[in-house]
Chain A
Amino acid sequence: MKTIITCILLVMFISMAYGQTNLIKGRILNATDSTPIPNVSVHAGDMSSTSTDSNGMFELRTTNKEVTLHISHVGFETVNLPTSLPITEPLTIMLESTATQLEEVVVSTGYEDIPLERATGSFEKIDNALLNRSVSMDVLSRLENVTTGVYFDKGSANFNFTGHRPIHDVFVHGVSTMRQGEPGANAPLIILDNFPYEGDANNINPNDIESVTILKDAAAASIWGAKAGNGVIVIKSKTGNLNQPLKINFTANTTLTERPDLYQHRTISSSEYIDVERFLFEQGFYNAMETNRAKPALSPVVELLIQQRDGLVANSDAQKQIDAYRQKDIRDDMLRYVYRNAVQQQYSLGLSGGGNKHSFSLNTAYDRANASLVGFENQRIATRLENTLKPLDKLTIQTGIRWGYYIDKKPGTSDSYSDNGYRYPYISLADENGNPMPVPKDYRLGFIDTAGRGKLLDWHYQPLTEMAKQNNETSGSEIILNISTDYNITPSLTFTVRYQHSREAIETSLLHDLDSYYTRNLINRGTALDKGNVVYNFPYGGIHNQKRIRSINHNGRAQLAYGAKLHNNHELHTLGGFEIQQYRNIHDGFILYGYDPDRLTYAANIDYTYRYPVFANLASSEMVPSPINGPEETTRRFVSFFANASYSYKGKYIVSGSARRDASNLFGVATNNKWTPLWSAGFAWVLNKEPFMNVTWLSLLKLRATYGYSGNVSNQAVGMTTLYYYSSNTMPEVSWPAAAISSPPNPQLRWEKVGNLNVGVDFSLWNNRLSGSIDLYQKKTNDLISRFPLDPTTGFGSMDMNVGKTESKGIDVNIKSVNTTGRLIWTSNVVFSYNNNWVRESYYGYSSPSSYVRTGGWSNMKGTMFFPAYSYKWAGLNPETGQPRGYLNGKVSEDYRQITSRETTLDELVLHGSARPIFFGALRNTVQYDRFSLSANIAFRLNYFFRRTGLDYQRLFSSGDGHEDYRKRWQHPGDEQYTHVPALQYPLGAGNTFYQYSEVLMEPGDHIRLQDIRLDYRVGQSYWGVKQLNLFLLVNNVGILWRANDLKLDPDVRGGIPLPRSYAVGLNLNF
């Protein structure tokens, strides 16, 4: 390595020393007003560079005869000027301000690329710069707070995230399906380079992506037919261009995420919890557990109380030990041993270039992340090679190979803190010297301390020891091959055939070696001590559990496109073709018992139907679980025909239309019923091209209106009674095959149809100083498929039915304003979305309030909001008992069972508003000064409510998690004036559950967050052939600027532990 560097330096030195120097003089002016621009950096091809003075003048010496002057300045278009030396006169170079340049935006639908100018539909393009503004390891997260109409639901967001798979649901223009619980039912369709991407979208390497286009309305998305109902996100990879010199791009960044602030968990102190335990102990709460043959774990304090009661420990000693526990807080140990600062690194190298007949692009990326939980890490490598050949003028052949591999490593068994706290709030994970300590898990410590008198394997569970194991590995590899041929039959008629084959294999390997608690526990349970002999009924050795998922997909498409200008005024573009797709998924796997990872041997002669007694009769009997991870195979097939056309007259009036029919094998009914026709129509009027609108300050004014349908397919709905076979019988010792009824038949089932009306305007004023778009939409979903709850007496809990209609209304506003130009450029971007959804028609009858009071729960009642925030009406605490009171038939009541039954009608519940933000968006300000650029994004979510966590006595009693409201609980008559926290009641009554869903725990969710701050610095120097070097610093999740709730809760995590802040640094090099 050293030698290479020396060589390079030597060569450079020689070339510098030997050249003859030429002088270049010049002046750089602003093209708009011919004023000189100071501080512009000017580079010749070699190492020489300079910058302009206050008069815009520069001088540069170079050894070369032919140089390309590279002139760049913030806010201006970069100029590359080839110059032959020597020159006689000073150069005058005019720079175009970027703010005034109207660039042509090309959007991709996955079928074709169309200039935005010609489109009637609602497209939103996120270009490379904006996409790379954030540094997440997945693509979709980068769209948050920079797009309109796309809502990231963080219902399951959690600070315990473990790598490159963020948890969020993405909604484009609100809801379009009611299929609750079906994974991804609302997920938009992801198109990666012309074809639907069926894998996990989180696996797509964002550094390989050129741009993302969101297709929101019918005209944009209908071409994707029955899969487009939830909106479409088109992702385009970077490509090379013909006749382009070799470009090399290298990026690297590192993100550091702080440890989560566990102390934000609002819980009572260890000491207070110990008092609760003592109270419960006196009530005999632990008696049944104490006498339970299974010897379930008891907390250290309860163990001490038992010993004290039985006279096994002196009162004073017990007291001393308990007092010691009062000082402990598990969070100290958690932060010390279980959490760390998460580090994420991304590297990417891209090469692209092209000659006359060939171009290529090669991108390779390597990412790694160490999550905030110790032991959780992942790595990913992705590479893609794309070649474009133009062997004939009329023929273009494009081939692509995308290969990716990732590996996630984590401990097979791990403990962490959660929004529900930790089971034993005062326990220690390690001793003073940092040595791992045992924590009660499955059994009482006193039992395992002595069990078997040394003949058993150690039975203790030490979380820290287990976490160090990192024996759970998931690896996935993916290869996508595609080939595409375009043949220009005539200059205006192109025939295209595309084919894509992809294979993905995900393998999860869980190796519980003999030292792991998991294995030791199973072996010990199966151990029989027979007159001093040790008999292992459970195979002695490690346990290797392996699961595989393979996906094999084929996509084929043939299409014919025609596009031409006819005469001068007419322009016609049409496209038609068909498509055929197959997605196959195969799951299987195995478990090896008695496994020796060093020799790859395992126990083969196991009787999986043999019931053996359990050690110490902890249970009656057990069997070795089946060694097969059930084989499964699913295949989805689609056949589609599509066509679209757009016609424009004089570039002013544009009409467009599309039609598509889809069929799939999903419904299991006659082919005739499988076909669903979908269509769209659109119109656009480019007003600024009209003579009467010919004013200088208006560069663009375009009105758009579209209407049409797209669809939604349910993967699970079936048209006839079907049986689902189990891999093995549900009682393991029975060898007969077993099946269950999978769903009730519904032959009338139809695909969901999403009707979409969109009216929009695109504008650009005063030389692009103010530009943007406003879209109004109304989305109606017909034939919504939903799990319709049935009378349980039918034997079914629910049935897939076309149950009703929903309506979504919304406004998307996207405005960019260039507030100042010149040396200091200040731009503001506003993305603002309004979205609300209602149930317009529904077969559902009102059953009971319980599903409505759970926020995040969806409503299915006609006339309600789709995401309403309901709660039980609160009548204060009973002044005598401190128990919560609600209303039953208008009267104050403590009959919780009746209050929570259908006796309480929907009208009698409190409707706070929406459970999802009605308004959301962000304001991004960017200030560019010279080589610096500073931008900050402020995100807001407004007009919604969330249910905060309150004191839940059941959680307090059973899982050691007591909300700090415990301190405010009703204790004496009169307290009800100041508090709504119910009195402690033992045994626990149904009032506890009522309280959790009462109105007093609802909080407004409105908040404004300083999402991120980013600082960019562009290094102007051109060393070693580097054309451009950018450095950046990004602080993400900076903090909440304002929130409507008084308790200082973070509404995004519903008052839980907030997502921690992160800091990223990175560089981007262009050669």
Chain B
Amino acid sequence: MTKIFKRISLILLVVMAQYGCSEFLELKPDKKIVAATTGENLLALMDNVESMNNNFSAGLTEIASDNLFLPVENWNAITLEEYRNPYIWAPEPVAQMYWNTIYRKILASNVVIDQIDDVTHTSEQARQQLLGIAKFFRAYCFFDLAQVFSVAYQSQDANSKLGIVLRLSSDVNIISKRSTLEQTYQQIIADYKEAVRLIGDNPTPLYPTRPTKAAAYGGLARTFLAMREYDLAGIYADSCLQLNNQLMDYSAIPGERPYPFERFNKEVIFFSQMVGSGLLPESVARIDTMLYASYEENDYRKTLFFSEANDGYLSFTGDYGQNTNASKFNGITTAEMLLIRAESNARKNQTDIAAKDLIMLQENRMLLTPEKLQSLLTLNKDQLLDEILSERRKELVFRGLRLIDIRRLNSEGTQFINLKRTLGDQTYSLSSESVETFAFKIPTEVIDMSGIEQN
């Protein structure tokens, strides 16, 4: 009797427990954690602004450029050597965030690309849009890294120079390997072109943090400019401007406010921010005095972009991201596209079209006197190009673009820009030839973990 009872109850227990067990154990442990099942899930990855749009490494290129300088005391007061080094182009590995954060963005893009067909979409158009966004981000990140960790692009030797690691899959088991510089740029172009193809014209998203077709055109224009493919750069800048060519009239912007620009203003085609730890905060970096002097008296940017610091030098306060700290806006703007289109046309000797673009920009930036206007229309090719390049530097200060310009202008052989730093009685310099072959060293931790080749 006892035995039978025991057996029955044991069987009962087991049956009871097994029944519904699988369902009981299917519950998600954390409501906030989801496995991606819909396109909206993946889109939420791309819309994570802090993770996708911020902390680009272009801050390093700004630090290495001639737009800014640091009084020696400010430089000395930065306690981390790792943060101080980029300013003097020291051949030392940079802080690991400059590498890791960008590859985290690339991973998110790759997850979207890998899983795009495993999830449901509201429409085919939504699927394409999402895929295009991911491709855009990947290209934007590769470009960012290529400017920091690779040498300047030269078509003749890009196949023999080291590019960056092109991770095209979210699979963590793939071993990292550095591509050639040519492969890097071809991947950037391919991804941007895919983005152009996939992202629809409309509607314009509520915030410029989500990539659009115009942004993808802008990315292509930037890329070809860095490659010194001026025709293509001009064409894509034009395509971008076809979709958005709004400019802000700086004369209408109140200058009393030290941070005069709205965060998502109408010139912003794509919103992103770069970081330059230790060095880029408004309290540390000062504007190159020559650069400041180059702004004309009636240029609104003189007051809208800069504020005087206690030491008598000028700090940059015209950031489109309203940042005071080490972050600065480095996204794509209509003004940048106008300048690319103008430069491209000027180089093609189409001076009248180029001058028109330049004037369109300057009208919104300064009090353009009739005399000045007239003089712009009479410039020859080289004069106009100089004027455009000067305008470009003044407009795109603190956007992480200057080092790219220095490199390509040196390569063009028309300008020879030597970089020099003075810190107390110490001077450091980077000659015009070495700027082209300069690349930041990859963080030690990355080299240690991945075994990839160091610069």
Q: Does A621 contact B (CB under 8 A)?
A: yes
Determine which of B47, B77, B311 lies in contact with A729 in the assembled complex, contact meaning CB atoms within 8 Å.
B47
CB atoms of A848 and B445 under 8 A apart: yes
0/1 per residue, A493-507, Cβ < 8 Å to B? 101000000000000
Name the A residues within 8 Å of B48 (CB-CB): 726, 729-730, 738-740
In whole Å, how far is B196's beta carbon from the nearest beta carbon of chain A? Answer: 23
CB atoms of B29 and A666 under 8 A apart: yes
Q: Which A residue's beta carbon lies closest to that of B50?
A: A730
Which has the most chain A C-beta neighbours within 10 Å: B21, B72, B84?
B21
Determine which of A735, A797, A847 lies in contact with B100 in the assembled complex, contact meaning CB atoms within 8 Å.
A797
Q: Does A264 contact B (CB under 8 A)?
A: no
CB atoms of A293 and B79 under 8 A apart: no
Name the B residues within 8 Å of A720 (CB-CB): 35
Determine which of B25, B75, B106, B282 lies in contact with A639 in the assembled complex, contact meaning CB atoms within 8 Å.
B25
CB atoms of B283 and A294 under 8 A apart: yes
Which has the most chain B C-beta neighbours within 10 Å: A287, A795, A957?
A795
CB atoms of B167 and A795 under 8 A apart: yes
CB atoms of A741 and B107 under 8 A apart: yes
CB atoms of B33 and A742 under 8 A apart: yes
Task: Count residues on chain A whose CB falls below 8 Å from chain B CBs.
Answer: 91
CB atoms of B47 and A734 under 8 A apart: yes
CB atoms of B49 and A734 under 8 A apart: yes
CB atoms of B449 and A792 under 8 A apart: yes
In whole Å, how far is B150's beta carbon from the nearest beta carbon of chain A? Answer: 14
Q: Does B310 contact A (CB under 8 A)?
A: yes
Name the A residues within 8 Å of B104 (CB-CB): 795-796
Determine which of A293, A493, A613 lies in contact with B324 in the assembled complex, contact meaning CB atoms within 8 Å.
A293
Residues 105 to 120 of chain B near chain A (Cβ within 8 Å): 105-108, 110-111, 115
In whole Å, how far is B328's beta carbon from the nearest beta carbon of chain A? Answer: 12
Name the B residues within 8 Å of A560 (CB-CB): 6, 9-10, 13
Determine which of B44, B259, B449 lies in contact with A736 in the assembled complex, contact meaning CB atoms within 8 Å.
B44
C-alpha gap A666/B84 in the complex (Å): 45
Residues 833 to 869 of chain A near chain B (Cβ within 8 Å): 847-848
Q: Which A residue's beta carbon lies closest to that of B164?
A: A793
CB atoms of A744 and B25 under 8 A apart: no
Q: Does A811 contact B (CB under 8 A)?
A: no
Q: Which A residue's beta carbon lies closest to that of B36?
A: A723
CB atoms of B33 and A718 under 8 A apart: yes
C-alpha gap A79/B72 in the complex (Å): 87
Q: What total count of A-B pairs have CB within 8 Å? A: 267
Q: Does B362 contact A (CB under 8 A)?
A: no
CB atoms of B322 and A639 under 8 A apart: no
Q: Does B295 contact A (CB under 8 A)?
A: no
CB atoms of B310 and A291 under 8 A apart: yes
Name the A residues within 8 Å of B21 (CB-CB): 639, 663, 671
Residues 28 to 49 of chain B near chain A (Cβ within 8 Å): 28-36, 40-41, 43-45, 47-49
CB atoms of A740 and B45 under 8 A apart: yes
In whole Å, how far is B248's beta carbon from the nearest beta carbon of chain A? Answer: 17
**Known contacts A288-B284, A637-B24, A793-B176; A986/B76 CB under 8 A:** yes
C-alpha gap A349/B45 in the complex (Å): 57
Q: Does B290 contact A (CB under 8 A)?
A: no
CB atoms of A794 and B14 under 8 A apart: no
Q: Does A284 contact B (CB under 8 A)?
A: yes
CB atoms of B49 and A738 under 8 A apart: yes
In whole Å, how far is B44's beta carbon from the nearest beta carbon of chain A? Answer: 4
Q: Which B residue's beta carbon lies closest to that of A492?
A: B2
Q: Does A489 contact B (CB under 8 A)?
A: yes
In whole Å, how far is A966's beta carbon from the nearest beta carbon of chain B? Answer: 17
Q: Does A490 contact B (CB under 8 A)?
A: yes
CB atoms of A741 and B207 under 8 A apart: no
In whole Å, how far is B84's beta carbon from the nearest beta carbon of chain A? Answer: 7
Name the B residues within 8 Å of A580 (CB-CB): 17, 24
C-alpha gap A737/B38 in the complex (Å): 14
Q: Does B202 contact A (CB under 8 A)?
A: no
Name the B residues within 8 Å of A285 (CB-CB): 73, 76-77
CB atoms of A633 and B36 under 8 A apart: no
C-alpha gap A493/B9 in the complex (Å): 12
CB atoms of A578 and B14 under 8 A apart: yes
CB atoms of A489 and B259 under 8 A apart: no
Name the B residues within 8 Å of A796 (CB-CB): 104, 107, 172
* Complex A-B: 29 CB contacts under 8 Å: A285-B76, A287-B74, A288-B74, A290-B310, A489-B5, A576-B10, A576-B13, A578-B16, A617-B259, A671-B25, A725-B44, A726-B48, A731-B50, A736-B207, A737-B44, A737-B47, A739-B41, A739-B45, A739-B48, A740-B45, A742-B33, A790-B449, A793-B176, A795-B104, A795-B110, A795-B170, A901-B448, A987-B79, A990-B81
The 8 closest A-B pairs by CB, nearest first: A795-B107, A284-B73, A730-B50, A292-B283, A731-B49, A620-B259, A739-B44, A738-B48
Known pairs A620-B322, A795-B103 / 16 extra A-B pairs, C-beta < 8 Å: A286-B77, A292-B282, A611-B263, A620-B323, A635-B29, A664-B25, A665-B25, A671-B22, A725-B34, A733-B264, A734-B47, A736-B43, A736-B207, A740-B48, A741-B108, A902-B444
Interface of A with B (CB < 8 Å)?
283-294, 489-490, 492-493, 495, 558, 560, 562, 576-578, 580, 611, 613, 617, 619-621, 632-637, 639, 641, 663-666, 668, 671, 674, 715, 718, 720-726, 729-731, 733-742, 744, 789-797, 799, 847-848, 897, 901-902, 954, 957-958, 986-990
Interface of B with A (CB < 8 Å)?
2, 5-6, 9-10, 13-14, 16-17, 21-22, 24-36, 40-41, 43-45, 47-51, 53-54, 71-79, 81, 84, 92-93, 96, 99-100, 103-108, 110-111, 115, 165, 167, 170, 172, 174, 176, 206-207, 209-210, 257-259, 263-264, 281-284, 307, 309-311, 315, 317, 319, 322-324, 443-446, 448-450, 452
